[in-house]
């Protein structure tokens, strides 16, 4: 009866060879693609904008005059000696711009990193552990989520800045960054929780638990690396939120008046009636820089989104293919089969 034991064994020729070939091809493609995802135009533009602005913020302050030196003539238009003119108080606008960019980037990076950290803490832990932990953490996240962001930041900022005993720290950009960080994590936490929850169910997570990995190692070594693109996107989102938030706060006079940021420049311009006195060189450069920085970061974010979610990337590609096929007269046939 030995023949009865192995009816499945005979190799079925038929679909097998083609499917193996397909697997090989896919594997090869993967291998090529893996080290660096294809750099799209969006990503490249975004990176160039952000890198140029970042270099400007990092390096330019070393070469400009003291941004708080008021010995210059007031409200000089752009010209010799002062590329971007001067403010009402005689500060050099270019020097202020250099320091302001540095200040804004500092706030953005610190707040973004803090927000990401909190989002991981609340989102990933909640998603991974589930149960009571999840319920408590999700409750806190939801509370943070439904409180409108800017008003909350304003209340906290106003409160801390008027707290006795903080000294110059109360008006520093570091404090503003912290306030922005602890108010800006909830959205990311929701996203991370959902992803962690689905990754938790993956077999490789279960397998690493069976292998004996401790929960924190499972989270940080097995799960988080697979979240890197998502984390990067959340970080960039946090940075944008913080830079714009800081600008908003500063414009309202709740910003780090002890430091110079793009936001405080705008605030100075506003209180100094730059618009009324038509000193466009005072408020347009910081405004434009904020807009550019936001654009650059958003472009990078879109590009990362496309990597995380290949459907987004394939959509324009598919559209292009279709146009090309149409041009060449071999469009998709009616029943959906590709000609």
Partner 1 sequence: MSHAKPNGPSTLEIKNLKRDYTLRSGFKRNVLHAVSDVSFTLEPGRTIALVGESGSGKSTVARIISRLENATGGQVLLDGAPAPTRGRALERYRSKVQMVFQDPFASLNPFHTILHHVERPLRIHHPHLSSKQIKERAYELLERVQLTPASRYADRRPHELSGGQRQRVAIARALAPGATYIVADEPVSMLDVSIRLGVLNLLAELQRSEGLGVLYITHDLATARHFSDEIMVMYRGKIVERGEPDSVILNPQHEYTRTLLEAAADPDRLGQLRAEVRAEGITT
Which residues make up the interface to partner 1 (CB under 8 A)?
1, 4-9, 11-12, 16, 19-20, 23, 27, 30-31, 34, 202-204, 206-213, 222, 225-226
Rounded distance between C-alpha atoms, residue 262 and residue 285, angstroms: 9
Cα dihedral 30, 33, 37, 41, rounded to 10, equals: -120
Rounded to a whole number of angstroms, the minimum distance from the CB of residue 54 to partner 1 is 28
Q: Would you say 148 or 225 has its CB closer to partner 1?
A: 225
Residue number with CB closer to partner 1 (8 or 80): 8
Nearer to partner 1, 225 or 329 (CB): 225
Quote the least distance from Cβ 183 to partner 1, whole Å. 32
For residues 238 and 182, the answer to whether their CB atoms sit within 8 Å is: no
* Cβ distance to partner 1 smaller for residue 4 or 162: 4
Shortest distance in whole angstroms from residue 87 CB to partner 1:
51
Q: How far is the CB of 16 from partner 1 (least distance, A)?
A: 6
Angle CA 41–46–49, to nearest 5: 125
Min CB(291)–partner 1 separation in Å: 37
- The minimum distance between CB 205 and partner 1, in angstroms, equals 8
CB of 221 to partner 1, least distance (A): 8
Of 150, 145, 111, whose CA–CA distance to 242 is shortest? Answer: 111
């Amino acid at each position: 009866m030995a023949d009865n034991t192995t009816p499945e064994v005979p190799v079925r020729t038929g679909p097998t060879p083609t499917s193996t070939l397909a697997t090989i091809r896919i594997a090869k493609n993967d291998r090529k693609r893996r080290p660096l995802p294809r750099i799209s135009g969006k990503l490249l533009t975004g990176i160039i904008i952000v890198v140029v602005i970042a270099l400007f913020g990092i390096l330019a302050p070393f070469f400009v005059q003291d941004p708080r030196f008021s010995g210059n003539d007031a409200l000089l238009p752009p010209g010799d000696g002062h590329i971007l003119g001067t403010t009402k108080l005689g500060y050099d606008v270019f020097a202020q711009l250099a320091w302001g960019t540095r200040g804004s980037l500092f706030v953005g990076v610190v707040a973004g990193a803090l927000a990401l950290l909190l989002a991981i803490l609340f989102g990933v832990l909640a998603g991974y552990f589930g149960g009571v932990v999840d319920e408590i953490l999700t409750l806190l996240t939801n509370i943070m989520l439904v409180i409108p962001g800017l008003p909350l930041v304003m209340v906290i900022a106003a409160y801390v800045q008027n707290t006795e005993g903080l000294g110059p720290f109360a008006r520093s950009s570091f404090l503003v960054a912290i306030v922005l960080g602890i108010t800006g994590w909830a959205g990311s936490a929701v996203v991370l929780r959902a992803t962690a929850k689905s990754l938790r169910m993956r077999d490789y997570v279960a397998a690493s638990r069976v292998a004996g990995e401790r929960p924190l190692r499972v989270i940080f070594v097995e799960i988080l690396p697979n979240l890197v693109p998502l984390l990067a996107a959340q970080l960039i989102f946090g940075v944008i939120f913080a830079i714009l938030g800081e600008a908003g706060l500063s414009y309202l006079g709740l910003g780090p008046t002890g430091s110079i940021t793009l936001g405080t420049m705008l605030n100075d311009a506003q209180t100094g009636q730059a618009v009324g006195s038509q000193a466009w060189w005072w408020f347009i450069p910081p405004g434009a820089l904020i807009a550019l920085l936001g654009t650059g970061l958003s472009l990078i974010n879109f590009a990362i989104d496309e990597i995380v979610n290949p459907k987004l990337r394939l959509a324009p590609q598919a559209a292009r293919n279709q146009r090309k096929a149409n041009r060449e007269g071999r469009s998709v046939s009616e029943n959906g089969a590709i000609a």
